[in-house]
Structure 1
Amino acid sequence: MAQKIINKISEPFILEGNETFIGASIGITLYPDDASDADDLIRNADMAMYRAKDAGRNDYRFFTFTMNEQVFERMQLEKDMRAGLERNEFFLEYQPIVDTVNEQTVHAEALVRWQHPEHGLIPPDRFISLAEESGLINQLGWWVLENACAQAKQWSLNGYPVGISVNLSSRQIKAGLSSEKIVTMLNEVGLEPTLLTLEITEGLLLDDTEETLLWLNTIKQTGVKLSVDDFGTGFSSLSYLKRFPVNIIKIDKGFVQDVTHDHDDATLVKAIIGLAESFNINVVAEGVETEGQLKFLRQHNCDMIQGFYYSRPLAAENLLGYLKQGAAA
């Protein structure tokens, strides 16, 4: 019955002369097995519906008691995250981004980590999505941006003016993160705008709204660079490379890891590099781990690489040592 409802709702209809499509996600709970009163039944069905949405939408899910446990865990993790931001439990590591020609570190990507007092190191894939859903990404994202820029200034004072790359959530932009606020912060820490690169996702560009274009252009006017992260993993509309002021695209590691033995991945990576070159956009290949991958990327004029081949993410003081070693070499 649930599938019949979804199928019926998904049929196109005409709205003010336009063909329109909608979908439905359905959560199902059963009386008396799951609950004995209306309030609990509604709450259980709501939980199951959100699980259907998480699974890709236009689907249905039955309530299970493990959902209760998972919801409690997420609520507790969100509570811990709020407290963790107050208690300075988050810290940054930095992964070098290396020029493929002279093998010098030209940027470092700031990566946020969470050292939980009870559960130890919590991986980003557990808390970043929760931060986005809860709205905590605005506070966490600003903390990352401010501290990464301050750290880049310290490297510069030590004689190593390395650029810093920081991931930016589209939710931060929609919440009002302005170019003026970023410039004010850069002035306060004393970092040149040209040393900051903001990494955004393809999803933001695919929105293709005038508001997005205006925001991107105001950022570019400050001198801050823009990078498209995990390029090729979304439903790319290549026209946005012409429309939007992008300086760098990063090829997702999923394509890079098999370039030496997968013809399709090799062809795709070569095409991305060629496309970027035609638009005068620099390319970073992520997830480089082997000599063969590096050789392939050099042969096809990839500008920069990032990955374990050169270095894992490092603490700030260890990255400074890495920079000194590179300069000596």
Structure 2
Amino acid sequence: MANATSPGIPATLIPGDGIGPEIVDVVVRVFDTLGSPFAWETCQAGVNALEKSGDLLPPETLASIRRTGLALKGPLTTPIGGGFRSVNVRLRETFQLYANVRPARTIVPGGRYEKIDLVLVRENLEGLYVGHEHYVPIGDDAHAVAMATGINTRAGARRIARFAFDYAVRNNRKKVTIVHKANVLKALTGLFLETAQQVGLDYADQLEFNDRIVDACAMQLVLNPWQFDVIVSTNLFGDILSDQIAGLVGGLGMAPGANIGEGAAIFEAVHGSAPDIAGQGLANPTALLLAGALMLDHKNLHAPAKKLRDAIDDVLGAESGRTADLGGKTSTSKYGDLLIERLRG
């Protein structure tokens, strides 16, 4: 673990796997240009950590996050098979990161949808993601029946609903939409809906709130996404809808994520580690840069966060600044150079 000498706010930096180190390098260079607001403790997780220490999530990485309470994480790979649990899920559970925040905003003009600006807030610890699963054998088939139990609690639903409504008020949003499947899953998501509606009443004089069944919401996001502002939902539905929403603004390469708990916050690019293009200079660092902007906002560093977002808008506003996934030819490193040039200008 390398400790930075910068006088900034202590923060854990996890380069990750595949394209992770490339895009993290861009982020570090860009943040140096912003005045080094964070003092990085560089730690390992994912396949790189497994190869070096035999653990996908080494104790020293967990210790660093406990110490700093703040982390920026590149994409991580969880090996298929072998009984390995998702590192991302382990981090959320270990630090009780109950709120997942996924903003989506149109940056590159000329796409299918213009002027998208919405935020999905997802409950991060409950629902079907608790992983209570088992098989029921029948005859010679040990896996004849698969069963899973989803768990939503009143306390968990109240906590994420209040987070979403507070977020909406704090960021001058106008409406919160509660997404559920209470017409069928009357207990599991009915509890979520009922509790979120009760919380919403406390904010009725500050903003509007309504609800949507998840399948109707998915359709309406395609037909008329501008009707939504802040969406709050359960773990599984939020996971699915957040990727759909990323598709409205150009894909996961444009999708930052924040995982927030009472004692820690971890910010990330939500896309995968893309080992097939690692080392080729093709990776798009935008999602991780935008996650860095969320991290700045989280520490009330709003001026550098705005400066970073404005620089990203300017660079990606011109075709010459776009990486391959956005139809351009700019390399990962060159994209960072263009951002730094814009920030210095």
Q: Which has the larger radius of gyration?
A: 1
**TM-score w.r.t. structure 2 length?**
0.30
**TM-score w.r.t. structure 1 length?**
0.31
Flag the structure with more relative contact order, 1 or 2, with Cα contacts below 8 A and sequence separation at least 6. Answer: 2
Q: Identify, as 1 or 2, the structure richer in helix.
A: 1
